Amino acid sequence: MLTLFLAPGSSSMAPHIALHEVGAGFTPRLVSLKRRENRAPDFLALNPEGKVPLLLTPEGGLTEVAAILFWLARRHPAAGLLPDDAMGQARVLSWMSFLAATVHPARRQGLDHARVVWALVEARLGDAPHAVGGAYSIADIHLFRLFWRFRGGAALGPEEFPRLIAHHDRMMRRPAVQRVLRDEAAMGYELPD
C-alpha cells in the first residue's frame, strides 16, 4: 500500500492527481505546513528535508514531484502517462526539469518575473493540447498544478496566457483533477503565507 503525505494545494497536489489517474490504492496523510507539521520529528524521520510530497512505497520513500510522478508512470504503464519511446520520455523529463528548476521558484522573485517565466511556458506549450504534443503525460499534471496555483494568486486576464488557460481548462475536466480539488478543498488549504 502507498501512503501520500500531502498538504492541500501544495506541490503534493500533482502526485495526488497522478495516483488517481493511475488508479493506485493509497492512504492520504495530511501535513499542515501552516502549523509546521512538516518539521515534526516523526515526519523528519521519514523525510529529513521536511517537505511534501512524500510517497511511501513498498520499496521506500520518494520525494520530489518529478520523481514521484515518474515512478507512478513507470509502475503503471497502462495509464499511459509516459511515452514509450526514448525521445518522448526525454521530452517529458525536459518539461519536468524546466517546471521544477525554472517555473516553480519564479514566483518567489516577484509577480513580474513570474509573468516573464509563464510567457516562456506559454511559448513552449505552443498549440499542442498537451505539454508533449498530443499525448497526456505526467508533465501535464505537473504543469497544471503550478499554473493552477499561479492563476489563483495572480489577476490574469483571459488574453494573457490563452494556451495555458486552455490547458488548465482541459485539465479541470479530468475526473482525477476534479476529485483531488474536491478532496483537498474538504481537507482545507493551510498553506504558509
Q: Are strands 26-30 and 2-6 parallel, antiparallel or unpaired?
A: parallel
Alpha-carbon distance 83 to 149, whole Å?
26
* pLDDT value of position 193: 46
Q: Are 36 and 93 found together in one domain? A: no
- Asked whether residue 192 is domain-assigned, the answer is no
Alpha-carbon distance 112 to 134, whole Å?
31
pLDDT of 192 strictly over 70: no
* pLDDT value of position 191: 53
Q: Who wins on pLDDT, 186 or 189?
A: 186
CATH no. for residue 116? 1.20.1050.10
Q: Are 163 and 112 found together in one domain? A: yes
Q: Are 49 and 97 found together in one domain? A: no
* pLDDT value of position 134: 83
pLDDT tens-digit readout, 101-160: 999 999 899 999 999 999 999 999 999 999 998 899 999 999 999 999 998 888 787 789
* pLDDT value of position 190: 61
Q: Are 72 and 93 found together in one domain? A: no
Mean pLDDT over the full length of the chain: 94
Q: Are 69 and 102 found together in one domain? A: no
Q: Are 51 and 114 found together in one domain? A: no
Domain enclosing residue 71, as ranges: 2-78+176-187
For the full predicted model, state whether its pTM sits above 0.85.
yes
**Grid coordinates of 158:** 483571459
CATH no. for residue 7? 3.40.30.10
Alpha-carbon distance 111 to 150, whole Å?
9
Q: Are 162 and 183 found together in one domain? A: no
- Asked whether residue 23 is domain-assigned, the answer is yes
Structurally, how many domains does the chain consist of? 2
Q: Are 14 and 142 in contact (CB under 8 A)?
A: yes
**Grid coordinates of 75:** 509502475
* pLDDT value of position 51: 94
Q: Are 61 and 119 found together in one domain? A: no
Cα radius of gyration rounded to whole Å, the chain = 16
pLDDT tens-digit readout, 35-89: 999 999 999 999 999 999 999 999 999 999 999 999 999 999 999 999 999 999 9
- Asked whether residue 193 is domain-assigned, the answer is no
Q: Are 112 and 145 found together in one domain? A: yes
Q: Are 65 and 93 found together in one domain? A: no
- Asked whether residue 14 is domain-assigned, the answer is yes
- Asked whether residue 91 is domain-assigned, the answer is yes
Query: In the β-sheet with 2-6, what is the strand arrangement from edge to edge?
Result: 26-30, 2-6, 54-57, 60-63
pLDDT of 175 strictly over 70: yes
Q: Are 41 and 104 found together in one domain? A: no
Q: Are 111 and 154 found together in one domain? A: yes
